[in-house]
């Protein structure tokens, strides 16, 4: 179960990096 959480966390983390890279282009900080 712990390994599943790590795998899901890694996938979500890489997925969030792709989303944030796009959001930062659209949203000025």
Band the pLDDT of 26: cuts 50, 70, 90.
Answer: low
Is the whole model's pTM more than 0.95, yes or no? no
| Cα three-residue angle 24-7-16, rounded to 5 degrees | 5
Amino acid 7: pLDDT: 92
The Cα–Cα gap between 25 and 10 comes to 23
Q: Which domain holds residue 13?
A: 1-29
How many structural domains are present in the chain? Answer: 1
């Amino acid at each position: 179960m712990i390994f599943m959480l790590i795998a899901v966390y890694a996938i979500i983390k890489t997925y969030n990096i792709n989303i944030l890279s796009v959001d930062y282009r659209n949203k000025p900080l």
